[in-house]
Amino acid sequence: MNFFLSYIILAEIFAIVALSTNFLVGVIGIFSVSQAAIMGVGAYAYAIAVMAGIPFPLALLLAIALCALLNVATSLPSLRLEGDYFVVTSFGLQIVATAVFMNWSAVTGGTSGIAGIPAPRFSGLSFDEPENFVFLSTFALALASASYWLLMRSSYGRTLHAIRLDELAAVAAGRHVLQMKLGISAVSGAYAGLGGALYAIFMSFIDPSSFEIHVSVLILTMLVVGGARTLAGSILGPFIILAVPQMLTLLALPPHLIGPLRSLAFGVILVSFMLWLPKGLAGRKI
């Protein structure tokens, strides 16, 4: 039962991060392969803040705000230039983040990471146990989904779609394209920060390998499989993709091959979906 609950919780956390990626890849149509890095910053920020004695809501807010800020700061140069520069800064951000997690040992604990991250308690109810935590993660996903849904239907969301379809026309219609893109980067960063903080709470242990480039590719695969731009796609994707490693464990494979085989499977999935089903299972055209 716990095993199944953990799967649900992790899928819910990754759904929040997939929504964060969806804002970039699906909504404004820019490539991102650094969502795990932003998520990692959220996780580390939360862990460090909580362990320094800052109360749970404040630490969560801090993680979210920091990620929003970081996402804006790193996307600023690329948003000005559009297109392929974002690929480089995105990859770059991922690699720099991993280097910082690994090497800034005084703060991040280096390769050994941070262990024993306390879970919040509310009126005697501790979120240590998956049975309780699942309510927290479901609530967070519901909140994220609702705000995603509302945002996409607001005039702001519609303008974002217009920017993706024809940026020049949006500029000509007097929209502040750069400001709007920066705004959505901030929102995307905030979602990733929330996902990261929840991840830190649930696992109670974080290390650099949890937020490597493989994880960013994993998140992108979730989005691609579920389908870009829709709410259903971002939620469906993580549930499907997180089931893949479970299925691989059913085939009796030599342990040292499991990691590469899993990544190989994700690569094959990415290529196949782009070739035959770029919309994903429940998404729109990208």
Question: Binder to other proteins among 5, 7, 31, 161 (CB under 8 A)?
Answer: 31
8 A C-beta contact, residue 265 and residue 246:
no
Return the residues of window 213-242 that contact other proteins according to CB under 8 A. 213, 217, 220-221, 224
Closer to other proteins at the Cβ: 202 or 266? 266
What's the sign of the alpha-carbon dihedral 99, 101, 105, 111?
A: negative
Min separation Cβ 216 and other proteins, Å = 10
Burial of 57 (0-12, 13-18, 19+ CB in 10 A): exposed
Q: How far apart are CA 110 and CA 131, in angstroms?
A: 31
Question: Binder to other proteins among 51, 55, 58, 84 (CB under 8 A)?
Answer: 84
Q: How far apart are CA 36 and CA 148, in angstroms?
A: 20
Closest-CA residue to 89 (of 76, 101, 99): 76
Beta strands, E only, 172-276: 205-206
How far from 93 is each of 113, 134, 183, 234, CA to CA, in Å?
19, 31, 19, 23
Q: How far apart are CA 228 and CA 189, in angstroms?
A: 17
- 243 touches other proteins by CB under 8 A: no
Report the run of H or E that residue 135 belongs to, with start and end.
helix 130-153
Min separation Cβ 257 and other proteins, Å = 6
Which residue's structure tokens are 């394209």? 177
Min separation Cβ 260 and other proteins, Å = 4
Question: Binder to other proteins among 88, 125, 165, 169 (CB under 8 A)?
Answer: 88
Q: Which x/- pattern over 35-74 shows residues binding other proteins (rule: CB under 8 A)?
A: ---------------------------------------x
Question: Binder to other proteins among 95, 134, 151, 244 (CB under 8 A)?
Answer: 95
- 188 touches other proteins by CB under 8 A: no
- Which segment (64-72, 182-190, 203-211, 261-269) binds other proteins by CB under 8 A? 261-269
Residues that bind other proteins (CB under 8 A): 25, 29-31, 33, 74, 76-77, 80-85, 87-89, 91-93, 95-96, 99-100, 102-103, 213, 217, 220-221, 224, 256-257, 259-261, 263-264, 266-271, 274-275, 278, 286
